[in-house]
Amino acid sequence: MDKTIEWKDDCSLMVDQTLIPFEYKKIKIKTSKEMYNAIKTMIVRGAPAIGIAGAHGMCLAAKELYEENNFIKKLLEKAQYLNSARPTAVNLSWAINEQKKVIENNKNETPKKILNALIENAIRLENEDILINKKIGDFGASVVPLGAGILTHCNAGALATVGYGTALGVIRSAYKKDSSISVFADETRPRQQGARITTFELVRDNIPVTLITDGMCSYFMKKGMINFVVTGADRIAANGDSANKIGTSTIAIAASYYNIPFYIAAPKSTIDMSIKSGNDIVIELRDENEVKIINGKSVCAEGTKVINPAFDITDSGLIKGIITEYGIFKPNELQKIFS
Binned at pLDDT 50, 70 and 90, residue 133 comes out as very high
Which amino acid is located at 74 in the chain?
Answer: K
Q: Is 253 a residue whose pLDDT tops 90?
A: yes
CA dihedral 261, 265, 269, 271 (to 10 degrees): -10
Per-residue exposure over 184-201, b if at least 16 CB sit within 10 Å of its own CB, e if not = bbbbbbbbbbbbbbbbbb
- Edge-to-edge strand order for the sheet containing 262-265? 209-212, 182-186, 149-152, 228-231, 262-265, 321-324, 327-329
pLDDT per residue as tens digits for the range 113-122: 999 999 999 9
Asked if 217 contacts 258 with a C-beta cutoff of 8 angstroms, the reply is no
Distance CA 163, CA 125 (A): 12
For the stretch 301-332, pLDDT in tens is: 999 999 999 999 999 999 999 999 999 999 99
Looking at residues 212-222, what average pLDDT do you find?
97
Residues annotated as catalytic (active site), given as ranges: 234
The per-residue pLDDT for 322 is: 98
User: What average pLDDT does range 211-230 have in this prediction?
Assistant: 98
- Give residue-wise pLDDT tens across range 10-54: 999 999 999 999 999 999 999 999 999 999 999 999 999 999 999
Half-sphere exposure of 277 (CA within 13 A, CB side): 4
Confidence tier at 1 by pLDDT (50, 70, 90): low
The runs of H, that is alpha helices, within 212-329 are 217-222, 248-257, 289-292
The whole-number average pLDDT for the span 239-265 is 98
What does the pLDDT average to over 201-218?
97
Closest CA to 316 of 244, 267, 246: 244
Q: Which pLDDT score, from 0 to 100, does residue 168 have?
A: 98
Give the CA dihedral 15, 20, 25, 27, nearest 10 degrees: -40
Instruction: In whole angstroms, give the CA distance from residue 314 to residue 319.
Output: 8
Q: Say what the pLDDT of residue 42 is.
A: 97
**CA–CA separation, 260 vs 252, rounded Å?**
9
pTM: 0.95
pLDDT in the model for residue 147? 97
pLDDT at 78 over 80: yes
What span, in angstroms and rounded, lies between the C-alpha atoms of 27 and 155?
Answer: 20
Overall average pLDDT of the 70-78 stretch:
97
pLDDT digits (tens, 9 = 90+) for 162-190: 999 999 999 999 999 999 999 999 999 99
